[in-house]
């Protein structure tokens, strides 16, 4: 496995790869079994697999949330090598944002709803960094988890709008045995919060309506940001203490 901290070094390497069939998984590190599922799918479907590790400051609307984000590069690199990754990008902010984030990608509709309504500027940061990484890696396919459904939809829309030559592949949400969607944020839950957390998914699946789900979650001890039904999915975000969790389910699995 090759590691690239320098963008110029990566670009020389990418040029030498020419038309290699590349699968790409962008991450912010703190890797878990959900990331493993994405990586192993990419490895199985590609001649070469590239993963990025970059905690992207421009998508954090709360500085404290950025400061609390877990970072363990050595552990992440060991996992990626074990999972069969060929190349890892670890760009520095100054190299990835040489303009200081003066130029950015914005979307004016879906990005203002759901998570976007509660996290101003979040999806500008997401779309901007994803476009940068896709331009650098030039993969044939890039893999994203369905847990971040709104992000997935927005990335697909951006790729289509800008005629980008990459297929965005959705991979199913990976869950703990009790139903909690895997997330790097889960490690910040205390014992009592971790016990309660799986109720989020159960309520999304079984509540008779989005409004009922919000009420049930509030009564259970969550602080809901939103629960809404949209294009065949029930989307939700809640707070447990200082930890924000998101999830979604297909409406076929919920009672209308």
Contact 120, 61 (CB under 8 A): yes
Q: And the tokens for 45? A: 């479907």
Residues in a beta bridge with 239: 223, 244
Q: Give every strand in the sheet of 243-250, ordered side by side.
A: 223-230, 233-240, 243-250
Catalytic residue among 13, 32, 35, 118: 35
Rounded distance, CA 214 to CA 212, Å? Answer: 5
Determine how many CB atoms are found less than 10 A away from the CB of residue 240. Answer: 22
Task: Mark 107-134 as b/e (b = at least 16 C-beta within 10 Å).
Answer: beeebeebbbeebeebbbbbbbbbbbbb
DSSP state, residue 109: S
Residues 6+ apart with CB under 8 A from 159: 134, 166, 168
- The answer to whether residue 201 is catalytic is no
Q: Catalytic site residues? A: 35
């Amino acid at each position: 496995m090759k590691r690239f901290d320098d963008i110029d070094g990566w670009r020389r390497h990418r040029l030498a790869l020419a038309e290699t069939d590349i699968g790409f998984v962008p991450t912010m590190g703190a890797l878990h079994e959900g990331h493993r599922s994405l990586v192993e799918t990419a490895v199985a479907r590609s001649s070469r697999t590239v993963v990025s590790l970059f905690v992207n400051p421009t998508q954090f609307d709360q500085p404290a949330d950025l400061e609390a984000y877990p970072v363990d590069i050595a552990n992440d690199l060991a996992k990626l090598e074990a999972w069969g990754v060929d190349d890892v990008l670890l760009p520095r902010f100054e190299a990835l944002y040489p303009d200081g984030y003066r130029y950015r990608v914005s979307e004016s509709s879906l990005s203002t709803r759901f998570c976007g309504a509660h996290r101003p500027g979040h999806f500008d940061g997401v779309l901007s960094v994803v476009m940068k990484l896709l331009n650098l890696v030039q993969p044939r396919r890039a893999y994203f988890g369905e847990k971040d459904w709104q992000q997935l939809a927005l990335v697909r829309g951006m790729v289509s709008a800008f005629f980008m030559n990459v297929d965005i592949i959705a991979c199913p949400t990976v869950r703990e045995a009790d139903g909690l969607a895997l997330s790097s944020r889960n490690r910040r839950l205390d014992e009592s919060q971790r016990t309660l957390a799986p109720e989020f998914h159960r309520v999304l699946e079984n509540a008779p309506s989005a409004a009922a789900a919000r009420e049930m979650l509030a009564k259970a001890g969550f602080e809901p940001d939103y629960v809404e039904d949209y294009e065949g999915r029930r989307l939700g975000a809640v707070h447990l203490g200082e930890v924000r969790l998101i999830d979604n389910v297909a409406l076929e699995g919920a009672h209308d």
